[in-house]
Amino acid sequence: MNLEKQSRLYREVIEAPLSEEELATVNSTAFDFAQTLGLQLTYCAQDRLEGELAVDQRLLQPTGIANGGLYCVIGETLASIGAVAACAKPAVGMSNYTDLLGSVRDGETIRAVARPVHVGKRTHLWRVEMRSGDKLVAVTNLKLMVLDN
């Protein structure tokens, strides 16, 4: 399924948040790496993107905690989709700076919220905060380049 033809995402600035049906379409498409890991979008608009991922055994490092790369993937994915929602153009990461602040174990859920810090014509900067329960476990700052269609 081609996501660009099935959703407002990529076709227009998402002023009104995606509906539950539209989110279900995006989540069922498995259009990127993070979704194959289990990331599900729960909210999408031009000024905020939210998602969650249930951590399972596949995502752990040998010490029994979530692999640090997982947080980078969540941050990159949510910020990239957020940039697309804000400008209706493809956007790609230029710099991913992720601070790992806490650990998450098998059976716990990471909930992430992405918000724009800067939305320019050619570049964006998004900040993604990831939590497990009430604990802040990671923060990503992602600089993106907006591509011409």
pLDDT at position 19 over 60: yes
Beta strands in the chain (DSSP E): 40-45, 48-54, 91-100, 109-119, 123-132, 135-146
pLDDT at position 114 over 60: yes
The type of residue at 108 is E
Q: What is the CATH number of domain 20-146?
A: 3.10.129.10
104 CB neighbour count, 10 Å cutoff: 24
pLDDT at position 65 over 90: yes
pLDDT at position 4 over 60: no
The whole-angstrom separation of Cα 117 and Cα 114 is 10
Q: How confident is the model at residue 2 (pLDDT cuts 50, 70, 90)?
A: low
User: What local confidence, expressed as pLDDT, does residue 34 receive?
Assistant: 75
What token pair was written down for 127?
A: 């900040």
User: What local confidence, expressed as pLDDT, does residue 144 receive?
Assistant: 98
pLDDT at position 1 over 90: no
* pTM, entire model: 0.92
Q: How confident is the model at residue 139 (pLDDT cuts 50, 70, 90)?
A: very high
